[in-house]
Amino acid sequence: MKKSIFYFVLGAVVMSTIAFVDVKNSNAEIEAYVELLNGTKDYTLELLEAMPADKYTFRPHDSIRSFGEQMAHLGMSTKFLTSIFIKNGALPSQEDFAKFDTMEKEMATSKEAVTKAVTEGLDDMIATYKSMTKETMKEKFTVFFDPKQPKFEKEKGFKFINDHLIHHRAQALVALRMQGIKAPDYRLY
């Protein structure tokens, strides 16, 4: 009987230790990614600040967005993709996409409006990430703009949104340097 109680208690200790370690690791992972996202936000805002307001319309080439358009797109699309991929928001119509495009172009000439859109988009993404659980991270979303309509876990959705953000921020960095303005020093977080 004493052996049974001993093994039961030992099993309970082992299981509770495993459960604690699992929770601790997931919290550490969340904290690490939130730190990365906060660093992404800070670095992006430094980039926005570095470009003078009268240069937001600078376009490195006729075929690409201006600095302001890149950054407006970054802010609006971060919020939009978080809504669609992570929060299960409704898909916009073609008319809605056209409105978003017009809004990006209109706000792109205002440093204040672009900074507000970027801040709101990144704050929304960070807050949404913080609100997620292991279970909700495993939920699937559909990549609606891909003809194959693949499904991915929401955790991958955050990585996709961050990659998209980095893509447009890099283009804005080139525009900044083409204006002879020193870019903020890169950092990981």
Mean pLDDT of the chain: 87
CA angle, 132 then 136 then 140, to 5°:
130
Interacting residues of 75 by C-beta distance below 8 A, sequence separation 6+ = 114, 116, 117, 118, 119, 120, 121, 122
Structure tokens at 28: 């550490």
Task: Provide, rounded to the nearest whole percent, the portion of the chain with pLDDT above 70.
Answer: 86
The 10s digit of each residue's pLDDT in 91-114 is 888 998 899 999 999 999 999 999
What is the rounded distance in angstroms from the CA atom of residue 149 to the CA atom of residue 145? 7
pTM, two decimals, is 0.83
Q: Provide mean pLDDT across the span 70-77.
A: 96
Structure token digits, residue 65? 């967005």
Give the pair of three-digit tokens for residue 152: 């991915």
Q: What is the pLDDT of residues 14-52, one digit of tens each?
A: 444 444 444 434 678 888 899 999 999 999 999 999 999
pLDDT for res 14: 44
- A 10 A CB-CB count for 154 gives 19
